Every structure is written in C-alpha cells, then in structure tokens.
C-alpha cells in the first residue's frame, strides 16, 4: 500500500511491531509502517489486538485477551537514490 508521508528528510517515523500467536502454536512478527505519527502506529497495534481478540465460547463475550500484541518503534529514514530508477 502506497503512503504519502511528506516530511523533512531527518524527521522521525514510526512503525507498528505486531506479534501474532497462531492457533497452531507458531508465532510471527510483522512490521507495519512507516507512519508520520506514533498515534497512527498505535492504531494498527490496537486494530490487531481487537481483530484477534479471544472470546468465551459459551457467551461469545470478549475475554480481555488476544492472540496479538505489539508496540511502536520510532526511527529516522536515510533516503538514497536507487540507481537506474530515473
């Protein structure tokens, strides 16, 4: 997915680090971003926590736990021209 995050060359960017516990016992970690704000990255962590929330099989009510967890990282980008891209 293309993103437009116009900002200064030395600006801080953010990404969501999502860890998913699959039903077969395997764990995977994915990274989403970059985003121009920490709030946008936090929203992605929240989305995955809600999307993979555990539900009580009898009442179908959320249990408060989820198969997803995550956090936000910040960093800076070092842009370099790709040869042959013009």
66 near 53, Cβ under 8 Å?
Answer: yes
Q: pLDDT tens digit string along 20-45?
A: 999 999 999 999 999 989 999 999 99
3-state DSSP assignment of residue 66: strand
Structure tokens of 84? 């042959």
pTM: 0.80
Q: Which residues contact 74 (CB under 8 A, 6 or more apart)?
A: 12, 13, 14, 38
Residue in 34, 45, 36 with CA at minimum distance from that of residue 68: 45
Structure tokens of 23? 């039903």
Q: pLDDT tens digit string along 75-85?
A: 998 878 899 98
């Amino acid at each position: 997915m293309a993103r437009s995050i116009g900002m200064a060359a030395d600006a801080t960017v953010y990404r969501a680090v999502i860890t998913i516990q699959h039903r077969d016992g395997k764990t995977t970690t994915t990274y989403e971003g970059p985003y121009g704000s920490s709030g946008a990255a936090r929203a992605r962590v929240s989305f995955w926590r809600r999307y993979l929330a555990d539900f009580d099989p009898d009442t179908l009510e959320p249990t408060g736990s989820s198969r997803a967890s995550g956090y936000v990282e910040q960093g800076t980008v070092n842009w370099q021209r790709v040869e042959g891209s013009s």
